[in-house]
Amino acid sequence: MPFALKLPRRNPDAPRPSLRERYAALKGSAAKVIGKPTQFAPPKPIGAGEPSKTLVALIDAHQLAYARYLIARSDWSPDLNALRQAEEAAFRALLHSPLRSDADRVAYAVAVIERQSGALGDHVATGRDHPLSVAYRSLRFGEHAREAVPEPVVDPVGSRPAGAPAADAPPAPAAHDPARLSAEQIDLSALDIFQLSALFEAFQGAKFWWEGVVARPYSHDDDHRSNLFLNKLGELATFEEERASWIMQRLEEEIAERTPQDEDQRDEILMVRTQQEFRCNRRIHDNALLLDISRAWIV
């Protein structure tokens, strides 16, 4: 006997449900089978609570200063330099704020990481005063005091031979602090946009050339245990490479603060900013730069 499957027939006189009603019925049936998905709840820190009002106020103040700078940067505002300094001051105030609880530490860490991974940040610590170094000491050891500014040692004229170090002079810092200090001594204010761009290109070539010198065998010595270390030539080449890199960063910051007078100047500024962004991050990580590019170059 052949198997026969009889399906129920719909009453032709019954009203046909609307699409909305059919969707609701299917959704209810699926919910019974699948169940309600569990929502992710991030773990709360030990001693959970809200961050202190003082820290929240500092975070809000920095975010406001940060937003003002980015808006001014995208609009080529003439007071860009002042807004950049205001953002830096607000961030330093947050960076050196005391942390009273685990909730403070979580909010502080998030704020510092977001700033350092954004348009104005630098995720590579380059010294004791670098934001990531300061944040680590604040989180790990509770050291929130501002960095001490050493007083310069000034010797009377003729009190010691030329080139001889002072008797009470502090020990020389690591090789890269002098490189940054040397780069900061250069006055770029007198250069126009195209001169800044040309200098950026020149120091970019110099940086690549010094990198090649550092990589050569004659820049290293062997300790006879298969361990290589930089010799005097390698240290000098490293200094020049780092100095060129710091100067390029200064040039990019300087040219980004200039207000273009025509399309040629605008394009020159964007080219330098784009080159520096790719050199540092291998992609355009700065949303303000992406906005400027879209406004200027997308047709």
Tens digit of each residue's pLDDT (9 = 90 or more) over 227-279: 778 889 999 999 999 999 999 999 998 999 999 999 999 999 999 999 988 88
Average pLDDT (211-226) is: 82
The pLDDT assigned to 254 comes to: 92
Q: pLDDT tens digits for 155-165? A: 333 333 333 44
Tokens 């773990």, residue? 43
Q: Dig out the tokens for 108 from the structure.
A: 């502080």
Coil, helix or strand for 119?
Answer: coil
pLDDT at position 222: 77
Under the banding of pLDDT at 50, 70 and 90, the label for residue 118 is confident
**What integer pLDDT is reported at residue 258 of this predicted model?**
92
Query: Does 87 have pLDDT greater than 50?
Result: yes
CA distances from 194 to 153, 199, 250, 278, 293 (A): 38, 9, 15, 20, 19
Region of residue 282 (phi > 0: left; psi between -120 and 50: alpha; otherwise: beta): left
State the pLDDT at residue 194.
95
Overall size of the chain counted in residues: 299
